[in-house]
Amino acid sequence: MSSIAIVVIVIVIVILAAVVAAAVVATRRRALRSRFGPEYDRVLAEQDSRSAAERELRGRERRHAELTLTPLTDESRERYASAWEEIQARFVDEPTEAVGAADELVTRLVAERGYPTEDYEDQLAHLSVEHARTLTHYRDAHEINLANARGEASTEQLRQAVVHYRTLFAELLGEDPVPHTRPDEPRPDTPQDAPSR
């Protein structure tokens, strides 16, 4: 075989290897984007490079795989749904306390499912693997709850916090926490009777 033929074969092999490597990277990137949704873009904006962001997300997947997540029993699910109904009813007269109670209830639910709750950022990272699409709601609710603790949240913000908490709560619970009583009845998404500040 001539030296020109050998060089051509080597070049073809290198090109094929590069194409395969690019395809593998693209496939992994699509899988991460699909799994993490808006969280992918958020982490990408926070990191120095795309590869650093994707390393972070793959690390989250590895740490998440080490968790022992447990489904809720029917009894536990009913207990949480009932507690959520109480929070929504309480909002009308005590919006500040209701938001704090919603935060505590969501944290208890997260813990019972098997997620860590000691560190908020760590909790978010673990939740992002399976609940990335509702994580923005949880972050927004948490920020409003912190403003609430400082006495800086309006009633409308507190109402929004309850709505945001409910989004993650329903996803973790596996069902709407306040189910419909009749098919034609509108869904009770938020506390409606709260006065504005």
> What are 55-114's pLDDT values in tens digits?
999 999 999 999 999 999 999 999 999 999 999 999 999 999 999 999 999 999 999 999
Written in H, E and C, the secondary structure of 112-128 is HHCCCCCCHHHHHHHHH
Assign 150 to helix, strand or coil: coil
Nearest to 168 by CA among 107, 97, 82, 114: 107
Whether 51 and 93 map to the same domain: the answer is no
* Host domain of residue 169: 74-173
Boundary (domain end) residue, out of 37, 65, 93: 65
- Please give the pLDDT value at position 2: 84
Q: What is the pLDDT of residue 37?
A: 85
Whether 120 and 141 share a structural domain = yes
Using the Cα atoms of residue 168, residue 68, residue 146 and residue 85 in order, give the sign of their dihedral.
positive
Do 132 and 83 belong to one domain?
A: yes
What pLDDT is attached to residue 176?
A: 66
What is the model's pLDDT at position 196?
41
- Residue burial 152-175, b: 16+ Cβ < 10 Å; e: rest: ebeeebbbbbbbbbbbbbbbbbee
CB proximity list for 157: less than 8 A, separation 6 or greater: 144, 147, 148
Mean pLDDT to the nearest integer, 10-39: 85
Query: What would the mean pLDDT of 31-52 be, rounded to a whole number?
Result: 88
Domain count, the chain: 2
Select from 149, 164, 168, 154 the least CA-distant residue to 97.
Answer: 149
Residues 16 and 35 in one domain: yes
Q: Are residues 84 and 134 in the same domain?
A: yes
Q: Are residues 168 and 78 part of one domain?
A: yes
Q: What pTM, to 2 d.p., does this model score? A: 0.74
Selected residue with higher pLDDT from 196 and 33? 33
Residue 1 has pLDDT above 60, yes or no: yes
What's the DSSP call for residue 194? P
Residues 18 and 58 in one domain: yes
Domain identity same for 105 and 82: yes
- Give the pLDDT confidence of 128-180 residue by residue, as tens digits: 999 988 999 999 999 999 999 999 999 999 999 999 999 999 999 887 666 54
